[in-house]
Structure 1
Amino acid sequence: MIEREAAVRLVEEELAREDRKWSALGVDTKRTVVTDVEEHELVWIVRWQSEVFVRTGNPGDIGVLSARGGDWEDDYRARIRGLPVRTAVDDLHDEIREIGAAQSRMHAVRALRQRLPVLSPAQAVAYTDALLGGAPPAHLVSIAAGQLVEPIDPVLTVRTVRRGDPVPSRCRPRGHAPPPGGRSPG
């Protein structure tokens, strides 16, 4: 993680750039200032607000998003840092592997079909066999993700001033690739 002062400087530079950009387009902007900096295990959370609001307490037309839920953290880990984030697909894989080990391959196939009825019987067998033998094919994981993983609400996503350094592939847990659109330096 970068130093606190560097994080503040980056945000202030970005705020100034945004102000200049909108001013050049003839938009009457309200100057923004950094109001708070909080250290988080992943990043510096730098908050800003309009200078008018800081001075007067009148929010005017400033939109506010509460970060109380912590939902932004998974988005940051996956999209910005390229870190693996556990999803319902990972839980499904664990469940199917456990059933296959404790009962039988066919019990695992049946359980998979119950959880993912969109899979054909042949796809369920191929998926289960791959899970029991290692890593499943990406196209079947994609089907599972589409059925089981809720898309992130765009309101809860992270907007960063500077893209974070992704975790090199050699440091990621085995079988975890960067998210779509994520960078992988190798």
Structure 2
Amino acid sequence: MIEREAAVQSVEDQLERDYQQWRAAGVDAMRMAVVDVEEHELVWIVSWTSEEFVRTRNPAFMLAGNGPYLIDRVDGGLHQIGVASAVTGQWEADCRARIRGLSVRTAVDDLHDALCEVAAARGRMHAVRTLCQRLAVLSPAEAIEYVCALLDGRGPAPSGPSFVPVLPRAWPVPAAPRSSQPGPARALRDRAQTVGRQPVGAWTSAFAHPKTHIKPTVPVDNH
């Protein structure tokens, strides 16, 4: 496991490499410094800014648009994400699915859990009514077929619904690897991901090559 100190050192080394590259290119760049480290179950989240801002607290030296570095707590892989991904936390689902190969829970899973709970407590027909309330585009016959397939652990019959309902737009459905299990879970995930929803894609392309980096914008010290 990668400890906090090692994570900080990894980021500091990368910041120094970036600084030296900018200097070699003839840019009067400022040095950067680590200012915060947050522990996460998957990674260390390391934030950074200019040394000049840390020393003077002058807003003129504050960076903007510099997303944090993420250091994998298992293998020490160094990655950088954008500010939006850091604020929304979208990077986490992508990390679990693409890097760790873990399953990512979606709104489809929540729906199935709710249907199973209703069926166990009040019976299948109540589960069918719940499904119709959640997905009004389903006809009663399609809802019955879907609930029966879910509860019986089988895929929809060939004579079943000719389409899979689209989840309401209010439900976020992050991109996830297709399930290898047959049945309604895979059908809903496949359909939900092909109706105009964009994949999470929160991590930068550095994930494809863990040791490559997208250079942050480095302010020029004109003083």
Q: TM-score, normalised by structure 1?
A: 0.58
Contact 1:32/1:49 (CA < 8 Å) preserved in 2? Answer: yes
Q: Which residue of 2 aligns with 1:113?
A: 132
Contact 2:131/2:143 (CA < 8 Å) preserved in 1? Answer: yes
Q: Tell me the distance in 2 between the aligned counterparts of 1:56 and 1:93.
A: 54
Contact 1:10/1:161 (CA < 8 Å) preserved in 2? Answer: no
Q: Tell me the distance in 2 between the aligned counterparts of 1:24 and 1:114.
A: 63
- Tell me which of 187, 193, 208 is aligned to 1:139: 187
Q: Could you say what secondary structure the match of 2:42 adopts?
A: coil
Query: Residue type matched to 2:2 in 1?
Result: I
The CA deviation string for residues 36-64 of structure 1, in whole angstroms up to 9 with x for no partner, is: 43444433232221111112112335127
Query: Residue type matched to 2:50 in 1?
Result: S
Q: Tell me the distance in 2 between the aligned counterparts of 1:126 and 1:145.
A: 22
Q: Which residue of 2 aligns with 1:62?
A: 63
Q: TM-score, normalised by structure 2?
A: 0.50
Structure with greater helix percent:
1
Q: Rate the CA distance shift 1:24–1:107 in 2: closer, same or farther, 3 A.
A: farther
Between Structure 1 and Structure 2, whose CA radius of gyration is higher? Answer: 2
Q: Could you say what secondary structure the match of 2:37 adopts?
A: strand
Q: Rate the CA distance shift 1:67–1:111 in 2: closer, same or farther, 3 A.
A: closer
* Equivalent residue pairs, number: 159
Q: Which residue of 2 aligns with 1:182?
A: none
1:132 is displaced (CA, Å) by 0.6
Q: Tell me the distance in 1 between the aligned counterparts of 2:120 and 2:96.
A: 32
Query: Residue type matched to 1:101 in 2?
Result: A
1:13 is the counterpart of 2:13 = yes
Q: How does 1:78-93 map to 2 (within 5 A)?
A: 78=97, 80-93=99-112
Q: Rate the CA distance shift 1:82–1:16 in 2: closer, same or farther, 3 A.
A: farther
> Root-mean-square deviation (CA), in Å?
4.3
The CA deviation string for residues 105-136 of structure 1, in whole angstroms up to 9 with x for no partner, is: 34322321210224455653443223212352
Q: Rate the CA distance shift 1:55–1:93 in 2: closer, same or farther, 3 A.
A: same
Structure 1 gaps, min length 5: 164-186
Q: Rate the CA distance shift 1:119–1:27 in 2: closer, same or farther, 3 A.
A: farther
Query: Residue type matched to 2:122 in 1?
Result: Q
1:96 is displaced (CA, Å) by 0.7
Q: Tell me the distance in 1 between the aligned counterparts of 2:140 and 2:103.
A: 29
Q: Tell me the distance in 2 between the aligned counterparts of 1:26 and 1:4.
A: 34
Q: Which residue of 2 aligns with 1:177?
A: none
1:4 is the counterpart of 2:52 = no
1:53 is the counterpart of 2:53 = yes
Q: Could you say what secondary structure the match of 2:46 adopts?
A: strand
Q: Could you say what secondary structure the match of 2:102 adopts?
A: coil
Identity %: 53
Q: How does 1:94-133 map to 2 (within 5 A)?
A: 94-119=113-138, 123-133=142-152
Structure 2 gaps, min length 5: 66-82, 154-182, 209-223
Q: Tell me the distance in 2 between the aligned counterparts of 1:24 and 1:109.
A: 67
